[in-house]
Amino acid sequence: MTLWLLGANGLVGSALKASINCLASGREVDIGKLDDLRAFARKFPGITGIVNAAAFTNVNGAETHREEAFLANVVGPENLGIIAQEIGAKVLHISSDYVFPGDGNIPLKEGDPTGPCNYYGYTKLEGERRLLAAYPDSAILRVSWIFGSGGKNFVSQLLHNLRTQQELQVVFDQWSRYTYAPDLALVILQLLGHSGVYHFANEGVATKYEFALAMREEAEKLGMHIVTDKIIPVPSAQFPSPCKRPIYTPLDTTKIEKALSLKIRPWQEALQDYLEALIV
Ligand SMILES: NC(=O)c1ccc[n+]([C@@H]2O[C@H](COP(=O)([O-])OP(=O)(O)OC[C@H]3O[C@@H](n4cnc5c(N)ncnc54)[C@H](OP(=O)(O)O)[C@@H]3O)[C@@H](O)[C@H]2O)c1
């Protein structure tokens, strides 16, 4: 299979690039511009699979940069569907737990009612719809709270803070499932060729506060220099945000586990791998 990876320089894109030989494109191929995509597909004939890891991912920024977010997250997947149809390639598009309102207390299945609570979530949901309308055979993989070594994310920032700040305040009232980018990369490669909506994340529901405690413990075990001696649980309201965030979005992963005969490992194990990879 000749694979084209969009968003190759992002967090997920970097993990994928490390896992497989592929044609990779970054910002220079603007997913919001159909002509850019067509030109790339013409330049590299024979593409049989497309993975879309490109997106506007700044949740707060999406509130104020609506046009940019819409182009990347809504028009982008629709464009991809059109191109994939034209060249006869399989598509896998990455979406988000933010398509859900996050006001419940039961893990979310693929068919559960959506209803985003902010503009980023709205664009991710509309992107799913437009892609499926343009190319119904596409696969959509919703994930949550990704961490890994490429790009900036809550987890890399947390580690930096643990190494530099004596006291940390971490949110305790939002629940989801962490997703380790290298684990996700392997699942993406297995899922490409399937169609429909799937959920993936590492096993186990956690808050950011619980994750911070586990990271400190694990980092200290590995001999990393940690200076934080106090991790204080705080409500999310403590950090004012321009938009609402979903409170509870653990994804139910039963469907993908069955489809791919997967045994998903817990986030604690993935966290250990993440930290070990940093010290070798
Ligand atoms: N990170 C998470 O916790 C999380 C959670 C749930 C779902 N997701 C989804 O997972 C996917 C991958 O996210 P990620 O964490 O890897 O994000 P990321 O690190 O921000 O990577 C996204 C990449 O897309 C590029 N990009 C943005 N607009 C583009 C455009 N118009 N055309 C081409 N490329 C463009 C970005 O380039 P620049 O850096 O130059 O802007 C960046 O390299 C996204 O669909 C995201 O919605 C992420």
CATH of the domain at 84: 3.40.50.720
pLDDT of residue 1: 87
- In this predicted model, what pLDDT tens digit does every residue of 91-136 receive, in sequence order? 999 999 999 999 999 999 999 999 999 999 999 999 999 999 999 9
Domain assignment present for 158: no
Domain assignment present for 273: no
C-alpha distances in angstroms, 258 versus 180, 255, 262?
20, 5, 7
Q: Is 276 helix (H, G, I), strand (E, B) or coil?
A: helix
Domain assignment present for 238: no
Minimum-distance ligand 1 atom for the alpha carbon of 154: 3
What one-letter code names the amino acid at 211? F
**pTM listed for this prediction:** 0.98
Domain assignment present for 113: yes
> Is 198 part of the annotated catalytic residue set?
no
Q: State whether the Cα torsion 210-213-214-219 is positive or negative.
A: positive
Pocket residues: Cβ below 6 A from ligand 1: 7, 9-13, 26-27, 30-32, 53-57, 72, 94, 96-97, 124, 143-146, 151, 153
**Nearest CA among 139, 160, 132 for reference residue 225:** 160
Give the chain's domain count.
1
**Nearest CA among 3, 30, 36 for reference residue 19:** 3
Report residue 198 as tokens: 């799937």
Q: With contact defined as beta carbons under 8 Å apart, do 182 and 20 qualify?
A: no
Domain assignment present for 254: yes
Domain assignment present for 88: yes
The protein residue with its alpha carbon nearest to ligand 1, atom 19, reads 10
- What would the mean pLDDT of 222-229 be, rounded to a whole number? 96
The protein residue with its alpha carbon nearest to ligand 1, atom 21, reads 10
Banded pLDDT at 150 (limits 50, 70, 90)? confident
Domain assignment present for 170: no
Q: With contact defined as beta carbons under 8 Å apart, do 164 and 216 qualify?
A: no
- In this predicted model, what pLDDT tens digit does every residue of 167-220 receive, in sequence order? 999 999 999 999 999 999 999 999 999 999 999 999 999 999 999 999 999 999
Structural domain including 82 reads: 3-151+179-202+250-264
Banded pLDDT at 153 (limits 50, 70, 90)? confident
Domain assignment present for 165: no
Banded pLDDT at 279 (limits 50, 70, 90)? confident
